[in-house]
Structure 1
Amino acid sequence: MVGLKFEQKHGKSRVRVGRIWKQPGSGTQHFVEWNVSISLVSDCIPAYTSGDNSDIVATDTMKNTVYVKAKECNEQLSVEDFAIILGKHFTSFYQQVTAAIIKIVEKPWERIYVNGQPHEHGFKLGSEKHTTEVMIKKSGEVQVVSGLEGLALLKTTKSGFEGFIRDKYTILPDTRERMLATEVTASWRYPFNALASIPLKKFYFTERYMDVKTVLVNTFFGPPKDGVYSPSVQSTLYHMANAILVRFPDISSVQLKMPNIHFLPAKLSSKDNPVMVQFEDDVYLPTDEPHGTIEASLSRISSKM
């Protein structure tokens, strides 16, 4: 291919797997549901240029590998650790595979409580999802990104938006009193650059996920009695991202997407009666289309994301 640059990868997407672990010595069971996507960077150029498939790892084989590796995990583990296991397998088992990119979304099944007691084998579907993207190269180089999506947050006061650019198309009034609602998508990158540097502590990634979620929520709302004022979604987003980097030195960068989901004050009027009912920040019209989009990333100076 003289004068051309060709890059390729292939894989299998939306491989859904459920896994149950039975706790020894008790009736307690643990359950996860994962949606796995695999991309392999491999030396299989002849498959594209001359129809020679001898160096291709079949995507059906990738799918089967997910179920086999899930079966081999005899103990409960985090979604990041499972992604690392898959990446290590594909880059070590196949000579022609130079890198593996594993993306997994964990469905939020949560243990239910009956009469205040945790049920041994009962689960309900929660809201936000735990995500990860792991890239492993044959050399042992690694990148681990964790995240969450679908974290819906709303506060009924302590939010405003004023002092923005006004021109002939602007009709939005300044306000220091409005609702603030969003659905947070977050991702954060760890500084580990080699497999040997990944912490061996069990559930390390799961605990960090829960800690990050707590900091995001607490920063958004502020103290339970007085809360914290938000002059804009942009300001709240920045303080949430900054709180993550301040609290966790093992996170090198964080990215947040926070759409501004609008609740518009209800108004009833007619031609003859401009104000039929006077609402006072108590009845709203929920709407999610259109909505504002706000996103940003914050990184330590030495970090790239």
Structure 2
Amino acid sequence: MGPAQHSRTNRMSKVTVIGLGIMGLPMAINLVKAGHTVTGFNRSSDKMDKLVSEGGSAATSIADAVKDADVVITMVPDSPDVEGVVSGDDGVFANAKKGALWIDASSIRPDVAVELSRQARDAGLKPLDAPVSGGEQGAIDAVLSIMVGGEKEDFDAAQDVLAAVGKTIVHVGPSGSGQTVKAANQLIVAVNIGVLSEAIVFLEAYGVDTDAALKVLGGGLAGSKVLDQKGQKMLDRNFDPGFRLALHHKDLGIVTSAAREAGVATPLGAVVAQLVASLVNTGDGGLDHSGLFKLINQLSGK
């Protein structure tokens, strides 16, 4: 490791993670494993206790969490949640030190990401919108795909931290671009889950050996990571959440709204968005997004 890179790693060694949920906690733990000094803040203390047991530390407030951080990562559910943790006298922008990197790994509206990035720069911070894909297992295994919007210089400075939690890390453009690519990701995943559900219902109706069928389908053009990761959950009717339907519902709202603003037609996305909305509105928002299978199955009277 050359001198320049060594100094960059030292500068980025104090990392704060705000939001220790299904994704944020394993990301924080992987940052500890990579050698960073990690402080966590979460509304519920049990998640902070888990981080402490893994070698991190817990903060008593957002202001306390970010005051000495070189890098602040936020990983919370939605646009209002991000606004809530970064704004105000107790928020990230008012309390993080000048020159710190702010990496928002949440999935939020692209227009909100652009505005918050502007506010972060006004506060002397270096913002990156860096939503992730790969689900809970990807976070645990530190193999997330990370799509990053922001200044290239700031993206380069964040490499040591991002590499501790992800595998495919790509700068996709200026602020807001990461969120736009994440919206496209969520569109593809949702439609893929929907059509995989239809295929399994179809196979089961004919009494096919579904384990064998998914094995051969997975090896051909129909294969996908969605099939690999979600097919067995559908066969087992096990919808314990790795990524909740309620969050995918939120993301599909971002997709349909942004597509309308851009004058883009997303007919398949619109249909799957309505199916997911139906599940959430009838009380199944806590299921894994593979739980879309439940509704597809019901529509066939199964």
TM-score in terms of structure 2 length: 0.28
Q: Tell which structure's C-alpha radius of gyration is larger.
A: 1
Identify, as 1 or 2, the structure richer in strand. 1
Identify, as 1 or 2, the structure richer in helix. 2
